[in-house]
A and B are shown apart, each in its own frame.
Chain A
Amino acid sequence: MPHEDQLQVEHELETIDLNINIGPQHPATHGVFRMVIEVDGEVVTDVVPHIGYMHRGGEKLSENMDYRQAIGYQDRTEYLSQFNAELCYVLAVEKLAPALAPPERAQYIRIILAELNRISSHFMFLGAFGTDLGVFGTSFVYAFRERENLLDLFEEVTGDRLMYAYFRPGGVAWDVPANFKSRVEWVCEQALIGASDMDRLLTDNEIFIARTRGIGILSAEDAIDYGVTGPMLRASGVRQDLRKDEPYAIYDRFDFDIPIGTNGDCYDRYLVRLQEIRESVKIVRQALEQLPDGPILPERMPRLLRPSAGEVYMRCEDPRGEYGIYLISKGTTQPYRLRMRSPSFCNLSALRQMTIGHYVADAVTILGSTDIVLCSVDR
């Protein structure tokens, strides 16, 4: 009977999924990022990330600059791991111009600062991740206490708190202050104290574990397929770290471990980063012991850099993953083409895969656990 069918249809409540814009103005997006999530009640059924709000053309701008002026653009794209980005860039330039081999002391200073920068970046993650999970700013403040120590040290060395532009092709801009060694030792001690504080505040917290364990699982195969690198890849159980795999600069001289997760969930990403802080302290302490005296730039520095024509790809282990610089030189004073391979962009691409099927609150957790830098995503 058609009449009965009609009745049935009328009684079925029609529900539609709700579209929610998270961002571009939202406390959880760590910058200007927008994800449109489709929710069925509280469960996320689809995620569409929208990027590009922070696009400034850093790559193109670098091409209109002197090789040394372009250093500043590395700071501005990768604004939480500036030294690592600078290191990658200057190593790329040094590959093009082999005459600019940096002296020993500069090599060590670079490694110390890059590793300290990794620590400060991871502390930034720890604090922001706690806030994403709803800690009332407590984790943020404790993480920032350590970050402030590090930024103070960077300011003493470079004169700036964020945009350092301190590394140069061939070395570093100027020598470190006289009390550098004792300051770095103190900062390392403080960083370890801060790491154990985070341990006590978050690592063993039941609610924290309940909110992160088993959330946003990314299998090793998926992680590799998406081009995910860095702590996120290691949390999925893949032992991949450019510092060990193809040691650039002088990383082959240090003894350190690579922490690896087992589940590939948000909790493992957190643990891996927390453990990396301790490993970075190890590297810094070794480098500090071996830090030689001597010059910080090669004897003969050309007034204008004119690397020979050619192209080069240099990749480094950023706190977020593989940061790459692709550089083409035509033998002029400016790069012909400069492209940055940003780890945040590739890591973000796995967001959809990780988020679907979880709750709205978990979407924020997962976004936080990818530890993106939006400037680096949009460049």
Chain B
Amino acid sequence: MTLLWGIFGIDMNVWLDAFLRLQIVVIVMTVTVMGLIYLERKFVGRIQMRLGPMRTGPFGTLQSIADALKLLTKEDVRPATADFWLFELAPYVTFVPVFMTLLALPFMEGWFVRDLQLGLFYIVAISGVTVIGYLMAGWASDNKYALLGAVRSAAQLISYEIPLILGVLAVSMVAGSLNLNDITRQQDTIPNLLLQPLPFMILLIAILAELSRRPFDIPIGESELVGGPWVEYSGIRWSIIFALTEYAGLWGFSILGALVFLGGWQFPFGTSSFWGDFDFLYQLVLVFTKSFFIILTMMWISATFPRLRIDQLMAFCWKVLLPFGFLQVLVNGIVLTYADDETVRDVLLFLTSGALLVVMTYAIYLATRQPSREERVGSMIAARSAQ
């Protein structure tokens, strides 16, 4: 087979290899998405003093499969007034970019579908295409809720793209590369989280917003817009959007965060290969553990915070995340230009970024400060005695 293609000057091995890797990514992604849905239901259930799914399979482990079967057998309803092509295509336009971000991610050392020199740039650029699917769905549904949701999501996703870029840009400045392998390998002693805590926070918030998860689920807004752009979708189309896009995106972004900030497949603070050829085993475990740490943090945030309003969300992006993101990039530039010694450089990066994080937190605190509960109850009692 390889020989046959070789006649035409095509190196089949490369394509076959890429194809197989793609298949593995598809299978792992599908299983992980099902696992993530189960995990979220269990985790949020625990936060809410519930058990979560318990009936299907031992401890409800088959719940995701049961849900998938149910959604597959449901009728695929399309409103009569919907725009046929846009409506039918929107789920795929939403999902394919999210899946494409997974192609450049190294899940362990040297294992990826394609090793791109501009991997980080590619991921950020491709994930921004998702918003077109949102707009298509919202417009084509011929539903006012969907339209409002689509407009909201366009505003939100495009705005939060910028802090996301600034967050990873700061790190790529430190690493001096946009290749994810290089960025990860450079963290063999100190993970970027310590060097750049502020961009990590910005990235975490921006990912939450990019995925429209609570507290940034303004486009979906269950209590106001019912389901946002997806309100008219049902059955398998809805599950492609909701389950695959949201959870695959969550997984992909958190692996990106684990690679860029938490040192990826390496133990923190330096280690050497100790299993030789079987290194990939612990590397895989490490990448997944670190990404699940990020995922669970996001689920925790999602489960406990109320939703922001659209103007507050935009203000938070443009007035807080963006200026501090730019400041971080500026400071990084100065530090990287003038600090020659590596230790001095690391210490300076940690101190400046940490200081910026403290300043940002304090600025948010000052902007939203409220009287304490004691003061409020005091004022209530004062108002009572005045009358």
Q: Which residues of A does B touch, CB under 8 Å? A: 18-22, 26-28, 39, 42, 130-138, 141-142, 145, 199, 201-211, 213, 237, 239, 257-262, 271-272, 275, 359-364
A27 and B49 contact, CB distance less than 8 A = no
When distances are taken between beta carbons in the complex, the residues of chain B under 8 Å from A211 are 306-309, 312
Residues of chain B lying within 8 A (CB to CB) of residue A210: 308-309, 312, 368
B145 contacts which of A20, A202, A208, A364 (Cβ < 8 Å)? Answer: A20
Given contacts A138-B304, A262-B383, contact A360 B373 (CB under 8 A): no
Contact of A134 among B307, B368, B379 (CB under 8 A): B307
Q: A20-B145, A207-B305, A360-B148 are in contact. Are A134 and B380 (CB under 8 A)?
A: no
Can you report 6 A-B residue pairs in the complex whose CB atoms are below 8 A from each other?
A: A134-B307, A136-B303, A137-B44, A237-B383, A259-B384, A262-B383
Interface assignment of B165: CB less than 8 Å from any CB of chain A: no
Q: How far is the CA of A37 from the CA of B206 in the complex (A)?
A: 31
Chain A residues with CB under 8 Å of B376's CB are 271
Structural contact, A141 and B49, CB atoms closer than 8 A: yes
Min CB–CB distance A350 → chain B (angstroms): 20
Enumerate chain B residues within 8 angstroms of A130, measured Cβ to Cβ: 306
Report if B352 contacts A (CB, 8 A): no
* B residues less than 8 Å from A203 (CB atoms): 373
The reply to whether A209 and B368 form a contact with Cβ atoms under 8 Å apart is yes
The reply on B81 being an interface residue by CB < 8 A is no
B303 contacts A138, C-beta separation under 8 Å:
yes
Q: In the docked arrangement, what's the CA distance between A13 and B301, Å?
A: 42
Contacts of A21 in B (CB 8 A): 144
Given A134-B221, A141-B49, 12 more pairs with CB closer than 8 A:
A20-B145, A27-B222, A42-B148, A132-B223, A135-B214, A136-B304, A204-B370, A258-B384, A260-B387, A262-B380, A360-B225, A362-B309
Find the A residue at minimum CB distance from B220.
A134
**Contact partners of B306 in chain A: CB under 8 A:** 130, 133-135, 202, 205, 207-208, 211
Closest A residue to B387 by beta carbon equals A239
Tell me if B119 counts as interface (CB < 8 A to partner A).
Answer: no
Q: Are B226 and A275 in contact (CB under 8 A)?
A: no
Pick the residue among A138, A205, A239, A257 that contacts B48 (CB under 8 A).
A138
Q: Which residues of B contact A259 (CB under 8 A)?
A: 380, 384
- List residues of chain A with CB within 8 A of the CB of B380: 259-262, 271-272, 275
What distance in Å separates the Cβ of A66 from its nearest Cβ neighbour in chain B?
A: 42
Q: Which residues 210-229 of B sit at the A interface, judged by CB distance below 8 A?
A: 214-215, 217-218, 221-226
Across-interface contacts of A261 in B (CB, < 8 A): 380, 383
Task: Give Cα distance in the complex from A364 to B307, angstroms.
Answer: 12
| Set of chain A residues within 8 Å of B224, measured between Cβ atoms | 22, 28, 360-361, 363-364
Report the minimal beta-carbon distance from A374 to chain B, rounded to whole angstroms: 16
Are B226's CB and A26's CB within 8 A?
yes
Q: In the bound complex, do residue B303 and residue A207 qualify as a contact, i.e. CB atoms below 8 Å apart?
A: no
CA distance A133 to B221 in the complex (A): 9
Contact with A along B350-380 (1 / 0, CB 8 A): 0000000000000010001010110011011
Residues of A within 8 A of B307 (CB): 133-135, 207, 211, 361
Q: Could you mark each residue 291-329 of chain B with 1 if its beta carbon is under 8 Å from any beta carbon of chain A, else 0?
A: 000000000001111111111100000000000000000
| Chain B residues whose CB sits within 8 angstroms of the CB of A136 once the complex forms | 44, 214, 302-304
> Please, which residues of chain B bring their CB within 8 A of the CB of A39?
148
The 5 lowest CB-CB distance pairs between A and B, nearest first, are A134-B307, A133-B306, A141-B48, A239-B387, A260-B383
Whether, in the assembled complex, B47 has its beta carbon less than 8 Å from a beta carbon of chain A, the answer is yes
Whether a CB of chain A sits under 8 angstroms from the CB of B1 is no
Contact of A213 among B302, B370, B373 (CB under 8 A): B370
Question: In the docked arrangement, what's the CA distance between A142 and B49, Å?
Answer: 8
Question: Contacts A136-B214, A141-B49, A207-B308 known; A27 to B379 CB distance under 8 Å?
Answer: no
Q: Mark B169-195, 1 if CB is under 8 A from A, else 0.
A: 000000000000000000000000000
Give A141's nearest chain B residue, CB to CB: B48
For the complex, is B50 an interface residue (Cβ under 8 Å from A)?
yes
- Residues from chain B with Cβ under 8 Å of A19 in the complex: 144
Report the separation of the CA atoms of residues A131 and B364 in the bound assembly, to the nearest whole angstrom: 25
CB-nearest residue of chain B relative to A271? B376
- Bound: A1/B370 CA distance, A: 59
Contact among A22, A133, A359 with B310 in the assembled complex (CB-CB below 8 Å): A359
Question: How many Å from the CB of B384 to the closest CB on chain A?
Answer: 5
Check B381 for interface membership: any CB of A closer than 8 A: yes
A262 to B218 CA separation, bound complex (whole angstroms): 30
Q: A275 to nearest B CB, angstroms?
A: 7
Indicate which residue in A204, A205, A239 contacts B305 across the interface (CB closer than 8 Å): A205
| Residue from the list A134, A142, A237, A364 in contact with B214, Cβ < 8 A | A134
Please indicate the chain A residues that have their CB under 8 angstroms from the CB of B384 in the complex.
239, 257-260
Contacts of B379 in A (CB 8 A): 262
With CB as the reference atom, state the residue of chain B lying closest to A22. B224
Q: Is the CB of B223 within 8 A of A134?
A: yes
How many Å from the CB of B22 to the closest CB on chain A? 34
- A135 — nearest CB in chain B belongs to which residue? B306
CA distance A361 to B370 in the complex (A): 22
**A135–B304 touching, CB < 8 Å:** yes
Q: How far is the CA of A28 from the CA of B227 in the complex (A)?
A: 12
Which A residues are in CB contact (< 8 Å) with B309?
Answer: 210-211, 359, 361-362
Contacts of B47 in A (CB 8 A): 138
A259-B384, A364-B224 known; A207+B215 contact, CB < 8 A: yes
With both beta carbons as reference points, the residue of chain B lying nearest to A199 in the complex is identified as B373
Contacts of A204 in B (CB 8 A): 370, 372-373
Residues of A within 8 A of B381 (CB): 257
| Complex interface bits, B260-287 against A, C-beta within 8 A gives 1, otherwise 0 | 0000000000000000000000000000
* Smallest beta-carbon distance B150→chain A, Å: 13
**B308 cross-chain contacts in A, Cβ below 8 A:** 207, 210-211
A123 to chain B, nearest CB (A): 15
Q: Are B304 and A361 in contact (CB under 8 A)?
A: no
A209's closest neighbor in chain B, by CB? B370
Instruction: Check B377 against A134 for contact (C-beta < 8 Å).
Output: no
A278 to B, closest residue via Cβ: B377
